[in-house]
Amino acid sequence: MRILITNDDGITAQGLWILARELKKVAHVTVVAPDREQSAIGTAVTLRKPLRVQKVTPLVPDIEAYSVEGTPGDSAILALNKLVEGRVDIVVSGINHGLNLGDDVLISGTVSGALQGYLRGFPAIAVSLAEAESHYQENAARLAALLARKIDAKVLPANIFLNVNLPSLPLEKIKGIKSTRLAHKTHINAVAEGHDGKQEYYFLVRQQLKNDPDRKTDIWAVEHDYISITPLYINLTNKPAPITDEFCAGLFQELQASS
Ligand code: MN
């Protein structure tokens, strides 16, 4: 199995390398990621300036790694078209520092990195976690490795695009894994004002997404201490097969056994 890893927190982000270290145990891994923080860049791609790429020293030994002067989308496109020699089986993006829930998947750079893989026919997984705490990141990374193996073993279909969010909790406090749908909510709903002495300016204000009464959504699941797996799809008529409760229960048992 060969996995491309990208992210939106940048090539030096801890979550990226914890993910790479774990996926390297089950696959041949290549890392191609933005050279700087690109969170909330959404599906942006760079078309009007050259994209510069540096081969970088990996923070985990024996992994080929490149930093891209561009977005997560740029990174995935460059990787799949140019940088990775040989085939890629799966694209994994993350582990993001911060949840990517509800309609905000559309502004998420993390989801966008996976999206560019999905749009090119690769199974794709975006993984996000509320806090960048290494112990929780390791749980997220092990879950990503389990999911990659399920795709490789064809337990999950090849045209899958998963948005995975984990609560920042020790595994023994997580209640299980839920297959969810996106809540119809965004976490940017307010604007703050300031004045620099000359001119008024504005800030878009982020709020934590919570209090969703709908038990089927990603927000509900994470708020109630479950891992959320949302199968995403872009093609309006090609809805993916649902992820079953049995699959989620089995996956959570495997995650617990792997810790
Ligand atoms: Mn981010």
13: CA distance to ligand 1 center in Å? 9
110: CA distance to ligand 1 center in Å? 6
- In the structure, ligand 1 is a single-atom ion and the residues with CB under 5 Å from it are 8-9, 39, 96
In a domain, 201, yes or no: no
In a domain, 187, yes or no: no
Mean pLDDT of 24-28: 97
231: CA distance to ligand 1 center in Å? 20
In a domain, 34, yes or no: yes
100: CA distance to ligand 1 center in Å? 9
What's the total number of domains in the chain? 1
Q: How confident is the model at residue 234 (pLDDT cuts 50, 70, 90)?
A: confident
| Cα 161 to Cα 76: distance, rounded to the nearest angstrom | 14
| Cα 111 to Cα 96: distance, rounded to the nearest angstrom | 9
245: CA distance to ligand 1 center in Å? 29
In a domain, 240, yes or no: yes
pLDDT digits (tens, 9 = 90+) for 156-184: 998 899 999 999 999 999 999 999 999 99
In a domain, 203, yes or no: no
In a domain, 205, yes or no: no
- Give the distance, in angstroms, between the CA of residue 65 and the centroid of all CA atoms in the same chain: 18
The CATH number given to whatever domain includes residue 116 is: 3.40.1210.10
In a domain, 198, yes or no: no
115: CA distance to ligand 1 center in Å? 15
CB 139 within 8 Å of CB 169: no
* Host domain of residue 67: 2-182+212-258
The residue assigned the tokens 């810790």 is 259
Q: Read off φ and ψ for residue 91, nearest 5 degrees.
A: -110, 125
In a domain, 190, yes or no: no
pLDDT digits (tens, 9 = 90+) for 189-212: 999 999 999 999 999 999 888 889
131: CA distance to ligand 1 center in Å? 11
Entry pTM: 0.95
Cβ neighbours of 240 (radius 10 Å):
15
10: CA distance to ligand 1 center in Å? 8
